[in-house]
Amino acid sequence: MKKILRILRQKDAESQSYWESYLYETDQEAATVATALAAITDRDLLEPGPEKSGAYRPLAWDHSCLQRKCGACAMVINHKPCLACDTRLADCPEETVVIEPLKKFPLVEDLIVDRTSMMKRLKDLEVWFDEEAGPGGENMAFEASKCLQCGLCLEVCPNFYTGGKFGGMAAMAPLSRLIARLPEGQRKKTGPKYIQGVYEGCGKSLACQKICPASINIEKLMVKSNGAAIWRRWTSVDKY
């Protein structure tokens, strides 16, 4: 199998972006975009970019588990946000595979973006129990725990932008882990945060549902979380 990886590169946030193409050949049917990215760093460029004449700069991209578990390799592949380690080259229909960084987050370098705003949001929402919580909501917590904090849902969300009040499903999922079991005192504090950070911002387009690599049933989780946080349908939460 022969693929040309056409990658949008940028040295840092202030630099001009430019395209570079790399040739990758493999006989592994299961090779992914992440496999190719890991291999091409030392290879010759097909179309030398403006930096080829200067000092060589290795391709920068984030990855860790390579098993769809950490969310680090989130990027835009063939115009669709996805995980590089979850995208098989054999499933890319054209010989050329177009690869770009996520666009909703500040660029760091090449395919690396700064997603610390997602973590800061969880801190602002205080996604933890202040005191011992009661039982219930285990099924919701299990579904929510599948969230990788990859940010792909935010990339396709028409309502999310960095710096806005709406945290998107990357905030809703972690909140869902505790929302059904909040102690009374904490509910008074977390409820308004949920309403402002999740409920009021969501336009229910559910673009996130289709893109989530963890296949979280976001619609169901959101319905149950809204019920628990806003209307307090405690009895139905346990039947999630």
Q: Which does 216 bind (CB under 5 to 8 A by kind): ligand SF4, ligand FES, none?
A: ligand SF4
70 binds ligand FES (CB under 6 A): yes
121-150 residues in contact with ligand SF4 (CB under 6 A) are 147-150
Handedness of CA 233, 238, 239, 240 (dihedral sign): positive
Rounded to a whole number of angstroms, the minimum distance from the CB of residue 183 to ligand SF4 is: 25
Of the residues 33, 178, 214, 228, which one makes contact with ligand SF4 according to CB under 6 A: 214
Among 112, 113, 153, 182, binds ligand SF4 (CB under 6 A): 153
Question: Which of ligand FES, ligand SF4, none does residue 65 bind (CB under 5 to 8 Å by kind)?
Answer: ligand FES
Please name every residue paired with 23 in a beta bridge, in sequence order, or none if there are none. Answer: 4
Q: Which stretch binds ligand FES (CB under 6 A): 1-9, 23-31, 71-79, 171-179?
A: 71-79
Residue 169 interacting partner from ligand FES, ligand SF4, none (CB closer than 5 to 8 Å by kind): ligand SF4
Q: Is 232 left (phi over 0), alpha (psi -120 to 50) or beta?
A: left
| Residue 68 makes contact with ligand FES by CB under 6 A | yes
CA-to-CA distance for 218 and 147, rounded, in angstroms? Answer: 10
Other C-beta atoms lying within 10 Å of the C-beta of residue 86: 17
112 binds, among ligand SF4, ligand FES, none (CB under 5 to 8 A by kind): none
- Cα distances from 55 to residues 6, 39, 50, 51, in angstroms, run 20, 20, 10, 7
Judged by CB under 6 A, does residue 146 bind ligand FES? Answer: no
Q: Is residue 60 within the footprint of ligand FES (CB under 6 A)?
A: no
Q: Which two tokens stand for residue 84?
A: 């590089």
* Residues 6+ away with beta carbon under 8 Å from 135: 181
**Is 83 among the residues that bind ligand SF4 (CB under 6 A)?**
no
d(CA 198, CA 175): 9
Q: Report the sign of the C-alpha dihedral through residues 178, 179, 184, 186, in that order.
A: positive
Question: Which residue among 31, 83, 208, 237 contacts ligand FES (CB under 6 A)?
Answer: 83
**39 part of the interface to ligand FES, by CB under 6 A:** no
User: Binding residue for ligand SF4 (CB under 6 A) from 37, 152, 175, 202?
Assistant: 152
Binding flag, residue 102, ligand SF4 (CB under 6 A): no
Considering the complex, state which of residue 120 and residue 232 has its C-beta at the smaller distance from ligand SF4: 120
CA nearest to 49, candidates 8, 96, 102:
8
Residues forming contacts to ligand SF4 in the complex (CB under 6 A) are 71, 147-153, 169-170, 173, 208, 211-214, 216
